[in-house]
Amino acid sequence: MNGGRGRSLGLRTINKRLVLLVSIALALVAGGLIAWRPLLRTHQLSQARLALEDREPAQALQYLHAARQLAPEHAEAHFQMARAYRRLGQLDRVHESLSTAWRLGYDVAALKREQWLVLAQTGELKDAERQLAGLLRDPQETQAAEISEALVRGYFANLRFAEAKQMLDAWQEDYPRDAEPHFLRGYYLEALSRDKDALAEYERGLEKSPRRTDARLRLCGVLVRQQDFARAERELLRCLDERPLDLQVQVEWAGYLFAVGRLDEAQNAFQQILIRAPDNEEALRRMGQIELAAQRPEEALRWLRPAVEKNPCDVAVRNVLAQALQAAGRSTEAETHLQYVEKAERELRQLDFWLPEVLERPGDVSLRYKIGITVLRYRSAADGVRWLKTVLEIEPDHHETHRALAEYYAQLEDLPAAERHRQRAGNPNAP
């Protein structure tokens, strides 16, 4: 009996020691994890900053979410998230992240600078331009390239091309290894239909920053327009390899398949796009063209009518719709769209002359008004309104511009804005 009791006491002692050892081991592991958390957080923040420097905001956010999980109340994580959201254009989240960073005690000067960058990037330059220009003159400023970029984008948004070019020149001179000035010049040259020059800028930028898939995609668009299909395919396949799930990459690839006549593949690709984005205008138009080429006009109309409803000033889709209506035997209905297309093409050809002229005469309000009205009616309502607003910056009481904007806002049923412009147009009783 005593021997059994002794063995029982011995086992009990061994069990207590095992429990103690396990507890000590777990405590050491937990202590190790706790000790590693600041190091992991620092690593994630460091990787996020590098991603932002490489202009990869989506990748930066992945690191920042991981850092925030390790330290939910870390002020810098929220501040860097604001920077990433700004680059992605998600301005509501920028405000939320900046507010949280401020609550957690982040540097006020840095927070103010980020707010000015947001304002500049979105074209609200009234106060931001003066503040950011002052920072650029500070030799201690470490984010001069980022400030330059925000100002250039703001100048573009306000159609102040001379200032944008001047800022780009200075930025490129101070930061010759930075690829972004080349990409922004490329966007600008594309807008002027100078595809050859735009292509050269994209190539120079990609030599310095070959992982910029967004810029490579713009290069692909130029190559397709120039019918350099062999190179376009190589570049698009690289984009697909880098970002296989990116919707815009898939749209450009499907457009390439359509351009080279691989219609079955293009149709399948556009169908997949419409599953993800049912209102994608490019996919709707191309699906209509594919059905029309297969002599199925009624099927073509099923895709084209929603595309026209979404963007009635799109000349290309109106033209295809007219063709489909004619093929379906609805000539009277087609005639309305054909007349619009004929008039629109005639007016849009004028832009080839007016856009270079406005670069030479940026203060010519009459020229800006003509461009604004033409773009508003036949290309893009949003871009047309931007042009018209630049007229009012130069001549605040330009009556024709106020009348055009009153009509535009009335159609949107934005009655306060419509009334405000009617009053400024000197015609308050207009319907």
- Contacts with 299 (C-beta within 8 Å, 6 or more apart), sequence order: 291
pLDDT tens-digit series, residues 282-299: 999 999 999 999 999 999
The pLDDT assigned to 431 comes to 46
- Contacts with 112 (C-beta within 8 Å, 6 or more apart), sequence order: 131
Task: Name the token pair of 281.
Answer: 């205008």
- Between CA 231 and CA 220 the distance in angstroms is 8
The pLDDT assigned to 40 comes to 80
The pLDDT assigned to 135 comes to 87
CATH topology of domain 352-424: 1.25.40
pLDDT tens-digit series, residues 204-228: 999 999 999 999 999 999 999 999 9
Q: What is the mean pLDDT of residues 323-339?
A: 95
Bigger pLDDT: 394 or 33?
394
Average pLDDT, the chain: 88
- SS3 of residue 192 by DSSP: coil
The pLDDT assigned to 420 comes to 93
Q: What is the mean pLDDT of residues 336-350?
A: 94
Task: Name the token pair of 321.
Answer: 């719709």
What are the CA-CA distances from residue 192 to residues 155, 196, 198, 353, 393 (Å)?
Answer: 16, 11, 9, 10, 22
pLDDT tens-digit series, residues 87-140: 888 888 999 999 999 999 999 999 999 999 999 988 888 888 889 988 888 866
Bigger pLDDT: 237 or 74?
237
Q: What is the mean pLDDT of residues 23-46?
A: 63
Residue 354 confidence class, pLDDT cut points 50, 70, 90:
very high
pLDDT tens-digit series, residues 392-414: 988 999 999 999 999 999 998 89
Contact 297, 305 (CB under 8 A): no
Q: Which of 267, 282, 271, 209 is nearest to 242 (CA)?
A: 209
Q: Which of 401, 403, 407, 406 is nearest to 387 (CA)?
A: 401
The pLDDT assigned to 6 comes to 45
The pLDDT assigned to 54 comes to 84
- Between CA 147 and CA 128 the distance in angstroms is 10
Burial call 385-408: b when 16+ CB within 10 Å, e when fewer:
bbbbbbbbeeeeebebbbbbbbbb
Backbone angles phi, psi at 330, to 5 degrees: -115, 65
The pLDDT assigned to 318 comes to 95
Burial call 275-292: b when 16+ CB within 10 Å, e when fewer:
eeeeebbbbbbbbbbbbb
The pLDDT assigned to 170 comes to 93
Statement: residue 28 has pLDDT above 50: no
Statement: residue 10 has pLDDT above 80: no
- Between CA 130 and CA 123 the distance in angstroms is 13
Statement: residue 372 has pLDDT above 90: yes
CB atoms within 10 A of CB 32: 10
Provide, rounded to the nearest whole percent, the portion of the chain with pLDDT above 70.
90
- Between CA 355 and CA 362 the distance in angstroms is 10
- Between CA 368 and CA 357 the distance in angstroms is 10
- Between CA 117 and CA 150 the distance in angstroms is 6
Q: What is the mean pLDDT of residues 26-38?
A: 53
Q: What is the mean pLDDT of residues 134-155?
A: 86
CA angle in degrees (0–180, nearest 5) for 151-152-157: 95
Statement: residue 199 has pLDDT above 60: yes
N- to C-terminal Cα separation, the chain? 109
- SS3 of residue 41 by DSSP: helix
Contact 265, 289 (CB under 8 A): no
pLDDT tens-digit series, residues 412-427: 889 999 999 999 887 6
Q: The whole model's pTM is what?
A: 0.80
Any idea which residue has 């100002």 for tokens?
151
CA angle in degrees (0–180, nearest 5) for 262-267-272: 130
